[in-house]
C-alpha cells in the first residue's frame, strides 16, 4: 500500500488543499500516540486508493497542526471529517468500520 495516495496537510495548507479542493476531501485527524488512529490508518489508506481521482484523502497530525482541529471543535481522535465545496458534510468520530466511512463518501459523491 503506497502512502502517496494520501496527502499530509498542515494548518498552513488546509485552506488551499482541503477547503478549495474541486472534489470532496476526507480528512483524518490523528496523532502518532493514538492507538485507535493507528488502527484505522490502513482503512483510510485503502479508501484513498479505492476512491483515487474521485475523493482526496488527507491526514492531519493534531499535535503538529492544532489550529484546524480546534476550529472544527475536534475533542477526540480519530475524527474523520468529509469536506465538499469547503463545507463539512460528514463528521465521524472514533475507530469505525470501513463501511461507515464508505457510506459517508458515497453520500458526498451522489
Active site residues: 34, 37
CA distance 46 to 41: 9
**Left if phi > 0, otherwise alpha if psi is -120 to 50, otherwise beta: which for 86?**
left
Amino acid at each position: 500500500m503506497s502512502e502517496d495516495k494520501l496527502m499530509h496537510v498542515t494548518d498552513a495548507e488546509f485552506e488551499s488543499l482541503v477547503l478549495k479542493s474541486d472534489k470532496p476531501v476526507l480528512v483524518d485527524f490523528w496523532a502518532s500516540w493514538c492507538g485507535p488512529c493507528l488502527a484505522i490508518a490502513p482503512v483510510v489508506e485503502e479508501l484513498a486508493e479505492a476512491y483515487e481521482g474521485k475523493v482526496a484523502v488527507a491526514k492531519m497530525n493534531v499535535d503538529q497542526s492544532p489550529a484546524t482541529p480546534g476550529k472544527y471543535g475536534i475533542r477526540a481522535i480519530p475524527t474523520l471529517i468529509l469536506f465538499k465545496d469547503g463545507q463539512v458534510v460528514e463528521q465521524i468520530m472514533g475507530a469505525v468500520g470501513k463501511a461507515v466511512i464508505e457510506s459517508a463518501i458515497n453520500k458526498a459523491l451522489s
